[in-house]
Structure 1
Amino acid sequence: MDQIQSMRVFARVVETGSFTRAAESLDMPKGSATKLLQQLETRLKVKLLNRTTRRVTVTPDGAAYYERASRLLNDLDEMEAAMTLAQGKPGGRLRVDVGSSIASDIIIPSLPDFYRRYPDIQLDLGVGDRPVDLISDNVDCVIRGGELTEQSLVARRIANMPLVSVATPAYLAQHGTPRHPLELEDKHTVINFFSPRTGRMFPNVFERDGERIEIAGRHKLSVNEGNAYLAATLAGLGIAQVARFQALPYLGTGALVEILPDWQHPLIPMHVVYPPNRHLSARVRAFVEWTVDLFARQAELVEQTALPREPAQTLALASAT
């Protein structure tokens, strides 16, 4: 067991680039992690890591050992997952990161159902729109909206999120109701949303009959977090394109009014994303399947019709909302 634990410590140091982060992710003192790594190098009679006061790097021998050790650890995780899933009792600590609006409006209200199914899972839920590094931050999976590009993580499409253009009745009474998207360029104030990762401003996009219009618009306020974006809209600070699931309650009460309803907006793909070396974890598998089922039951909030039927892709999020 010490040998397996030593291998886990080594793998986590390689993945995080830090003894401190590796020890924290494995819930052990840094001194214990250092000792286990030293014992592993002594047993193998090779140097696996180069350590300085500033950073830790893997040696050529260490890189070769990591490749084989990670496969072995994955096989062990698969064996454990098969047993726990067969018994229907996945348990332990699960670290998940979720965008703020998805967390508050969809995930958290549904957690009682999750705990009825999996009472032995302890969920650490990170909430925020700023992207995390799943490997170095030791996060098991994330739920995010955005396009996918880099081939480094496993992603599963769970929904397509529609947007709706809205404003408050007070704003429209003061500034008028736009009849065409181009009016947002010079006759109205928009609330802009910028990427928490890159700072890039996302345009307001309108589509109809093959025509596509991207509007930057005049803005006095831009934000990078979903709940703040909705709050700014409800405060009457301008016109915004918010997620339909966020807007629905306020459209129902009249606090918000949909504008330009004849124009459509591109759907935002929603994914659950997780590192490839954790795709066999019983806890992760249970949460992913529950999430897929949860979003499938949210037909009034998200679009399901355009979801791909192929298996999960090995990809990473290019941007998150």
Structure 2
Amino acid sequence: METLSNLESFVRSAEAASFSAAARRLALTPAAVSRNVAQLERNLGVRLFQRSTRGLTLTEAGERFLNAVAGGLDTIQGAIAEVAATAGQPAGVLKLNAAHRFGCDFLLPMMPAFLQRYPAVLPDWHFDNRQVDLIRDGFDAAVGGGFELPPGVVARELARVHIVAVATPQFMRGRKAPVKPADLADHEGVVLRSVFSGRIARRTLRSPHGEAQLCEQRPVITVNDPDALVRGVLMHMGIGLMAMPHVMHYLESGELVRVLPGWHDDAGAISLYFTSQKLLPAKTRAFVDFLIEQFREQRLAQRFLAA
């Protein structure tokens, strides 16, 4: 009879295509994971992985074996996690990831209430504007958008995010307000350049009636960071196209005003990413439930929309 540790080492290594990544997830050394898999291969009498300097690749036998055992392993570990969750309070280090601005503005302020409810959990936040690989990098959960979903990772949508045109009241004073996206070309613009492509980000805004128009901005300055974009607009430099989470507080305080009210672009979803729900430890389940509760109580899904 194979041990659970051998099977778990095999399944997690297959999901991550790496002994090192599996080791981080299992809190083992890469050597221990490699030994467990090698022992499993000896016991089965087949090679499960092709090993190379570029990583691991499942053999045909490995593919068949993974399909046969992965679901059963998840069921067993889910039962173990459920028993452990009911046996005591959530505890331990909770490794989390989110974009810097969003994390500092919305997630970090939630932490006092979370820690008051779960004092034995230590949130370990990594604020980073790049997407992370939850399994390879050993994260318990991440909040963001557009993450790939490798085997073993699920996503729970928290809110949709709209892009809107904004400016300061001081900038708009004495200027003729644009009535359609093409009119933005008549005004100075603070424009975002994509970090990934190096190109100017071009947006198509939609009206409440479904009409779509491409924005033709006239840049007076370009930046490659959303925080710098917000700062430039707040300095009365021009009109900017920004995500509602970045400008919501400024709109509510009156420091910024909507330009082209009613027009917006849908930037996609903000989601909560975590490993398979059957495998959630108590600390991660507590965070998932808490975050969903906070988004509901603060009505963030509604406040991130252009309306």
Q: Tell me the TM-score range normalised by the shorter chain.
A: 0.7 to 0.9
1:221 aligns with 2:222: yes
- What do residues 129-152 of structure 1 show as CA deviations (whole Å, max 9, x unaligned)? 322233333333322245x99796
Q: Which residue of 1 aligns with 2:105?
A: 105
1:237–1:12 distance in 2 versus 1, CA, 3 Å:
farther
| Change in 2 beyond 3 A, CA 1:182/1:144 | same
Identity of aligned pairs, percent? 27
Task: Give the Å deviation of 1:239.
Answer: 1.7
- Conservation of the 8 A alpha-carbon contact between 2:187 and 2:239: no
Structure 1 distance, partners of 2:72, 2:197, is 34
- 1:247 aligns to what? 247
Change over 3 Å in CA distance of 1:241–1:87 after alignment to 2:
farther
Query: Partners in 2 of 1:108 and 1:257 — Cα distance?
Result: 26
Q: Note if contact 2:21-2:136 (Cα within 8 Å) is conserved in structure 1.
A: yes
Residue 123 of structure 2 is matched in structure 1 by 123
| Cα distance in 2, alignment partners of residues 97 and 64 from structure 1 | 34
Per the TM alignment, residue 83 of structure 1 is displaced from its structure 2 partner at its CA by: 1.8
What amino acid does structure 2 have at the position aligned with 1:24? Answer: R
Gap runs ≥5 in structure 1:
307-321
Correspondence list, 1:181-260, <5 A: 181-192=181-192, 194=194, 196=196, 201-219=201-219, 220-223=221-224, 225-251=225-251, 253-260=253-260
- Asked if the contact 2:164–2:263 (Cα under 8 Å) also holds between the matched residues in 1, the reply is no
Amino acid at match of 1:298: Q
Corresponding residue for residue 94 of structure 1:
94
- The TM-score, its normalising length taken from structure 1, stands at 0.78
Separation in 2, partners of 1:151, 1:47: 23
State the Cα deviation string for residues 32-67 of structure 1 (Å, max 9, x = none).
222222222222222221212333211122222223
Equivalent residue number for residue 316 of structure 1:
none
CA contact (8 A) 2:165 2:260 kept: yes
What amino acid is the match of 1:37? Answer: V
Of 246-255 and 118-127, the range deviating more from structure 2: 246-255
The 1-side partners of 2:228 and 2:183 are apart by 25
Shift of 1:17: 1.9
Whole-angstrom distance in 2 between the partners of 1:196 and 1:119: 39
The aligned residue for residue 37 of structure 2 is 37
TM-score by length of 2: 0.81
1:10 has 2:10 as partner: yes
* Stretch deviating more after TM superposition (104-113 or 274-283): 274-283
3-state DSSP of counterpart to 1:201: coil
Supply the RMSD in Å over aligned alpha carbons: 3.5
Flag structure 2 segments of 5+ consecutive residues without an equivalent: none
Q: How many residues align?
A: 303
- Measured after TM superposition, the shift of residue 107 of structure 1 is 0.7
Alignment deviations for residues 87-118 of structure 1 (CA, whole Å, 9 cap, x no partner):
46233343332222321111111111112222
> Which residue number in structure 2 is paired with residue 319 of structure 1?
none
Greater Cα shift, 194-203 or 121-130 = 194-203
Using a 3 Å threshold, how does the CA distance of structure 1 residues 264 and 57 change in structure 2: closer, same or farther?
Answer: closer
Q: Which moved more, 1:148-157 or 1:17-26?
A: 148-157
Aligned to 2:75: 75
1:142-157 equivalent positions in 2, closer than 5 A: 142-145=142-145, 153-157=153-157
C-alpha deviation, 1:7, in angstroms: 2.2
Deviates more, 1:283-292 or 1:19-28: 19-28
Q: Give the Cα separation in 2 of the matches to 1:216 and 1:97.
A: 34
Q: Distance in 1 between matches of 2:178 and 2:200?
A: 26
Q: Any residues of structure 2 matched to 1:299-318 within 5 Å, and which?
A: 299=299, 301-303=300-302
Report 1 or 2 for greater relative contact order, CA contacts < 8 Å, sequence distance ≥ 6: 1
Deviations 1:223-267 (A, max 9, x none): 2x5434323332444322333343243345554333223435547
Q: 1:318 aligns to what?
A: none
1:287 aligns with 2:287: yes
SS of the residue corresponding to residue 3 of structure 2 reads: helix
Amino acid at match of 2:222: L
Distance of aligned partners of 1:154 and 1:23 in 2 relative to their CA distance in 1, 3 Å threshold: closer
Other structure's SS at 1:135 match: helix
With over 3 angstroms needed to count, the CA separation of the structure-2 counterparts of 1:22 and 1:87, relative to structure 1, is closer
Question: Which residue type is aligned with residue 221 of structure 1?
Answer: T
**In the aligned structure 1, how far is the partner of 2:84 from the partner of 2:303?**
30
